[in-house]
A and B are shown apart, each in its own frame.
Chain A
Amino acid sequence: GEDVEQSLFLSVREGDSSVINCTYTDSSSTYLYWYKQEPGAGLQLLTYIFSNMDMKQDQRLTVLLNKKDKHLSLRIADTQTGDSAIYFCAETPPTGGSYIPTFGRGTSLIVHP
């Protein structure tokens, strides 16, 4: 079955870069996503990458995909205290368009001033 694994916690100093890692098991995944969840809120889609891409950059966010190792990472440059949140990795296998994502347990990012 599908499984998405993430480390549970990451602590960084403000201004440093953060790297959040994720591994997945379904080699047929078509899209891989990063979501952000702030306390008491729903999930906000941050960025995504299609499985035939290696890298995607969007302002302070860089997504790297190693399809051979089934490893996805999210790098946040110049991390700010407002980036403190839980970050979820998710994948969608090809399911005929019904789009059923599998989420990891989330990585709690703590940014120290």
Chain B
Amino acid sequence: ETGVTQSPTHLIKTRGQQVTLRCSSQSGHNTVSWYQQALGQGPQFIFQYYREEENGRGNFPPRFSGLQFPNYSSELNVNALELDDSALYLCASRSAGAASTDTQYFGPGTRLTVL
């Protein structure tokens, strides 16, 4: 148990729709990162939020957006879904300022299927 939860566990959408995935971080963690893990691949960094502002982004288009809230929850929003967006979406939280090596905790992920 990492103390990081995600919802929903599974989700099925159709192409062109919009989706919101949710993450609840460990209490006190001020940084949350989102990753996309396609089948058979390693996680790909989408973006990171620190104190409710985006402060790092991977190679993902603007239709991937996020929000971080003061209550340690966060959202990943994906607009205009494409078939290739089907993947496991992972969030990870940590407390920035502490050693980055041992404080990033992953949630179990949300499996998104786009038909």
Contact = CB atoms under 8 A, between A and B. Distances in A.
A43 B106 contact: yes
Interface residue range, chain A = 20 to 34
A76 interface: no
Interface residues of B, number: 27
Contacts, number: 62
Interface stretch (B13-21, B72-80, B97-105): B97-105
Contact of B56 (A48, A88, A95, A106): A95
A98 interface: yes
B100 A92 contact: yes
A90 B101 CA distance: 11
A56 B102 CA distance: 15
B87 interface: no
Given A100-B58, A104-B42, A106-B42, A42 B2 contact: yes
Interface string A41-69: 11111001010000000000000000000
Given A33-B101, A99-B94, 6 more contacts: A41-B108, A42-B109, A43-B92, A97-B96, A99-B33, A103-B42
